[in-house]
């Protein structure tokens, strides 16, 4: 009784942190990678965004409200990874019913697109030229995702949950090294567009660390979106501005970049929908692992890798053996992902068969405990699985974006959200919509520019109204029908390997969620060499893995920036985020306690 009274007193006394007050601070908000307590939890890559999510929970919002508010804030403080110009996938555990729901907020191609969208004279255009163009812009799905989630499961209005982020954009936030670095990385692209250059390269340089950055155009755009309940984007003036930017990229005439116009129309925006989809589900060690179904390959590929690992007791293996099996499981799962996954509205995607234990066993038998497979491994046939059989030609996965973002929220009622959202490349297509303050996505570069599999249909070629294959893998794990933990990560195709590594680290290797997120990363995607972080190369086990034939190449930077939440048996929540990657993440709970 004393504890309950104390918790009520703490909650009553807690200061309500709303966006404007937080944004007005003259110092950088500290980042904490782990928090434990009651009342709900938020974990994201940014401290201001996490604080806004917590403020919504403290004002009576639920996990859905907090997720949308946090996402809107990340569009302000982490605009090179996500925002209203992009899309994503929303996975929700509803405590009232015990069901998992998912929203597909993936961008779509304009109706004028064909499978030769990224081809000229019968050949694919250079990837870099596709990336920075109007051609690469998919119809944005993030705002519609927010609206759909709030209408179905939220407690607050779109205007209410977007207001703190609007205030944050208007009042400003403190520039950190990551924000400055991301602008510097893209200075050549950004400087080609006056609307982008004026916002992010004032005086020709990125803003200095420690200074206040304001984006009043974004604040006004947020306010207009909320006031019109998104009609201004999906049928109004904001939409007109987006279409003009896509069709007539506002390039500086002095720039030498070849920036092709795109095909999006106002009608494409008006017809956009963010549909509900059945989640993927697989059983692993007696747990139920839920994820995102196609057009995301996240749920199927994480699920297949776990199914491949299911017969092997990873908890009893040496660390070297564990890592070997982990690498081989994702190598095989990616061979199948690359062959079979696309938009289910355009291809007969064998989702159920890819997630069957029978198919996983037919792939697992290819694993030699002491010798790595040679990539690219050919895919299997999930509709007719034969032990150790392969079919056709294998290909390695694309590198893809590394600059998505993932947030995880939970509330006092037991609801949980795992939400991954993106504008694809760091900085999207590089173009800020003039007068609107947000970057557009280049998500359509996730399509294959040309067929990859000779003689068979490629499920990931562009088509009118199609959604490109994604690797986003927001994941919720249930134990006995109740939340155990949820996680997800940015990182392009490496999202899948990161989430698989976090799940096995937490479930099989006895790590805390924070330690599983912090562990050195390796990403094997059916290539000759797995991309690995320098910390992974420094492990003594890596030399033993090389003896077994595992190949490694250094990743250009860190892999992913995961977040998660976990429910403890006594009702407390753990919020967990990165300790180092991207400057560290930010975890918080409504009422921090440790007893």
Report if residue 507 sits inside a domain. yes
Does the pLDDT of residue 297 top 80, yes or no? Answer: yes
Binding-site members for L-glutamate are: 106, 446, 470-471, 492
Higher confidence at residue 471 or residue 20?
Answer: 471
Lowest average pLDDT, out of 61-65, 238-242, 402-406, goes to 402-406
Q: What does the pLDDT read at residue 16? A: 32
Exposed / middle / buried, residue 510 (Cβ in 10 Å: 0-12, 13-18, 19+): exposed
Which of 377, 373, 411 has its CA nearest to residue 394? 377
In whole angstroms, give the CA distance from residue 9 to residue 582.
36
Q: What does the pLDDT read at residue 399? A: 57
CB 106 within 8 A of CB 296: yes
DSSP state of 431: -
Kindly tell me the sign of the dihedral angle through the C-alpha atoms of 538, 542, 544, 547. negative
At CA 526, angle to CA 384 and CA 452, rounded to 5? 70
Tokens of 440: 């557009």
Q: What does the pLDDT read at residue 498? A: 98
Report if residue 311 sits inside a domain. no
The overall average pLDDT reported for the chain is: 93
Report if residue 201 sits inside a domain. yes
Residue partners of 410: CB distance under 8 A and separation at least 6: 40, 41, 63, 416, 417, 483, 486, 565, 567, 573, 575
Pairing of strands 552-554, 173-174: unpaired
Task: State the CATH number of the domain containing residue 88.
Answer: 3.60.20.40
CB 10 within 8 A of CB 591: yes
In whole angstroms, give the CA distance from residue 11 to residue 72.
25
The interaxial angle of helices 494-507 and 298-309, nearest 10 deg, is: 40
In whole angstroms, give the CA distance from residue 215 to residue 481.
43
At CA 190, angle to CA 185 and CA 195, rounded to 5? 150
Paired with 409 in beta bridges are: 42, 417
Report if residue 389 sits inside a domain. no
Paired with 522 in beta bridges are: 532
> Of the listed 196, 221, 404, 409, which one is catalytic?
404
Q: Write out the H or E segment, with its range, that includes residue 557.
A: none
| 404 in catalytic set | yes
In whole angstroms, give the CA distance from residue 592 to residue 573.
9
Report if residue 452 sits inside a domain. no
Paired with 576 in beta bridges are: 34, 564
Tokens of 379: 């895919």
Q: What does the pLDDT read at residue 20? A: 30
In whole angstroms, give the CA distance from residue 116 to residue 224.
36
Q: What does the pLDDT read at residue 456? A: 87
Does the pLDDT of residue 120 top 80, yes or no? Answer: yes
Does the pLDDT of residue 167 top 60, yes or no? Answer: yes
| Cα 28 versus chain centre, distance | 25
In whole angstroms, give the CA distance from residue 312 to residue 37.
35
Binding-site members are: 106, 446, 470-471, 492
Does the pLDDT of residue 463 top 60, yes or no? Answer: yes
In this prediction, residues 249-255 reach a mean pLDDT of 97
In this prediction, residues 456-480 reach a mean pLDDT of 97
pLDDT more than 90, % of the chain: 90
| Cα 164 versus chain centre, distance | 22
Residue with tokens 């997720």: 67
| Cα 576 versus chain centre, distance | 16
The torsion angles phi and psi of 289, rounded to 5 degrees, stand at -110, 115
- Identify the band that residue 124 occupies on the pLDDT scale cut at 50, 70 and 90: very high
- Identify the band that residue 13 occupies on the pLDDT scale cut at 50, 70 and 90: very low
Report if residue 165 sits inside a domain. yes
Q: What does the pLDDT read at residue 555? A: 84
In this prediction, residues 449-454 reach a mean pLDDT of 88
In this prediction, residues 55-59 reach a mean pLDDT of 98
- Identify the band that residue 309 occupies on the pLDDT scale cut at 50, 70 and 90: very high
Q: What does the pLDDT read at residue 265? A: 98
How many domains is the chain built from? 1
Range of the domain at 544: 34-276+398-447+467-590
Does the pLDDT of residue 196 top 80, yes or no? Answer: yes
pTM of the model: 0.94
Does the pLDDT of residue 286 top 70, yes or no? Answer: yes
Does the pLDDT of residue 395 top 90, yes or no? Answer: no
Pairing of strands 475-479, 287-291: antiparallel
CB 91 within 8 A of CB 102: yes
In this prediction, residues 521-529 reach a mean pLDDT of 96
Report if residue 122 sits inside a domain. yes
SS3 call for 582: helix
CB 264 within 8 A of CB 134: yes
Q: What does the pLDDT read at residue 23? A: 35
Q: What does the pLDDT read at residue 84? A: 98
- How many other C-beta atoms can be found within 10 angstroms of the C-beta atom of residue 339? 24
Q: What does the pLDDT read at residue 377? A: 96
- Identify the band that residue 514 occupies on the pLDDT scale cut at 50, 70 and 90: very high
Does the pLDDT of residue 269 top 90, yes or no? Answer: yes
- Identify the band that residue 18 occupies on the pLDDT scale cut at 50, 70 and 90: very low
Q: pLDDT tens digits, residue range 79-103?
A: 999 999 999 999 999 999 999 999 9
SS3 call for 67: helix
In whole angstroms, give the CA distance from residue 32 to residue 37.
14
Tokens of 24: 């007005």
Tokens of 161: 């949950």
HEC string of 278-345 equals CCEEEEECCEEEEECCCCECHHHHHHHHHHHHCCCCHHHCCHHHHHHHHHHHHHHHHHHHHHHCCCCC
Q: What does the pLDDT read at residue 394? A: 78
Report if residue 12 sits inside a domain. no
Pairing of strands 482-488, 563-567: antiparallel
Q: What does the pLDDT read at residue 402? A: 59
């Amino acid at each position: 009784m004393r504890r309950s009274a104390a918790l009520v007193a703490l909650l009553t006394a807690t200061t309500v942190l709303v966006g404007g007050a937080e944004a007005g601070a003259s110092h950088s908000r500290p980042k904490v990678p782990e928090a434990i307590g009651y009342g709900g939890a938020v974990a994201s890559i940014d401290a201001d965004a996490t604080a806004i999510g917590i403020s919504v929970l403290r004002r009576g919002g639920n996990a859905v409200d907090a997720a949308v508010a946090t996402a809107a804030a990340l569009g302000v403080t982490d605009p090179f990874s996500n925002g209203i110009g992009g899309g994503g996938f929303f996975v929700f555990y509803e405590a009232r019913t015990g069901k998992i729901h998912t929203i597909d907020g993936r961008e779509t191609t304009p109706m004028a697109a064909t499978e030769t969208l990224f081809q000229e004279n019968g050949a694919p255009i250079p990837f870099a030229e596709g990336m920075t163009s109007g051609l690469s812009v998919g119809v944005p799905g993030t705002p519609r995702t927010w609206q759909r989630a709030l209408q179905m499961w939220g407690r607050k209005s779109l205007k209410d949950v977007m207001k703190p982020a609007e205030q944050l954009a208007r009042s400003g936030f403190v520039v950190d090294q990551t924000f400055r670095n991301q602008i510097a990385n893209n200075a050549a692209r950004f400087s080609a567009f006056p609307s982008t250059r004026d916002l992010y390269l004032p005086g020709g340089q990125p803003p200095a660390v420690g200074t206040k950055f304001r984006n009043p155009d974004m604040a006004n755009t947020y306010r207009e979106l909320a006031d019109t309940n998104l009609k201004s984007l999906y049928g109004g003036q904001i939409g007109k501005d987006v279409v003009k930017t896509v069709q007539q990229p506002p390039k500086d005439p002095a720039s030498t970049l070849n920036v092709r116009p795109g095909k999006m129309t106002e009608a494409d925006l008006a017809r956009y929908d963010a549909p509900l989809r059945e989640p993927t589900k697989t059983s692993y060690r007696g747990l139920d692992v839920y994820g995102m179904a196609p057009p995301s390959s996240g749920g199927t590929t994480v699920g297949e890798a776990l199914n491949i690992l299911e017969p092997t007791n990873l908890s009893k293996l040496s660390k070297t053996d564990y890592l070997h099996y982990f690498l081989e499981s994702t190598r095989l799962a990616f061979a199948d992902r690359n062959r079979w996954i696309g938009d289910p509205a355009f291809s007969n995607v064998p989702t159920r068969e890819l997630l069957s234990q029978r198919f996983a066993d037919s792939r697992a038998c290819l694993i030699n405990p002491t010798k790595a497979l040679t990539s690219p491994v050919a895919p299997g046939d999930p509709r007719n699985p034969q032990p150790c059989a392969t079919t056709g030609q294998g290909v390695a996965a694309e590198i893809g974006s590394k600059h998505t973002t993932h947030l995880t929220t939970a509330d006092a009622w037991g609801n949980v959200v795992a939400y991954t959202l993106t504008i694809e490349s760091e900085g999207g297509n590089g173009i800020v919509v003039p007068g609107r303050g947000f970057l557009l996505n280049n998500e359509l570069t996730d399509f294959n520019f040309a067929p990859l599999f000779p003689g068979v249909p490629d499920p990931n070629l562009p088509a009118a109204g199609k959604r490109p294959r994604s690797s986003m893998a927001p994941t919720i794990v249930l134990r006995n029908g109740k939340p155990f933990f949820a996680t997800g990560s940015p990182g392009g195709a490496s999202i899948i390997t990161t989430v698989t590594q976090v799940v096995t680290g937490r479930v099989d290797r006895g790590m805390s969620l924070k330690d599983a997120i912090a562990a050195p990363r390796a990403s094997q995607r059916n290539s000759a060499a797995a991309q690995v972080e320098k910390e992974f190369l420094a492990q003594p086990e890596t030399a033993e893995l090389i003896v077994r034939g595992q190949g490694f190449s250094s990743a250009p930077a860190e892999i992913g920036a995961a977040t998660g939440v976990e429910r403890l048996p006594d009702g407390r929540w753990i919020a967990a985020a990165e300790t180092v990657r991207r400057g560290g993440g930010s975890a918080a709970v409504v009422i921090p306690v440790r007893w």
